[in-house]
Amino acid sequence: AKLMVYAPAKPGDVPRDMLAIELSEKPFISILWLGSIIFALGAFFALTGSYNKLFMAKKREEIEEVA
């Protein structure tokens, strides 16, 4: 759908500036959003998993030093 808006000063005046807007619906945009969410969740789980591995390794080293 296209929308053209103009307000001539007098009847019959030709508008100098014109604004044209095209509204369209993209049918598969939800697939893009779903992929983005899955990507973000994967990155989150990967970062938390590697942080936990690092944290556990440091804890193990501290326990071995004390023992």
Q: What is the pTM of this model?
A: 0.51
- The predicted pLDDT at position 1 comes to 57
Every domain of the chain and the residues it spans: 2-66
DSSP 3-state of 52: helix
pLDDT score at 22: 82
pLDDT digit string, tens, across residues 3-54: 666 665 666 666 667 777 888 888 899 999 999 999 999 999 999 999 988 8
Residue 50 CB neighbours (<10 A): 10
* CA atoms lying within 13 Å on the CB side of residue 5: 3
Instruction: Quote the CA–CA distance of 9 and 11 in Å, as a whole number.
Output: 7
pLDDT at res. 21: 80
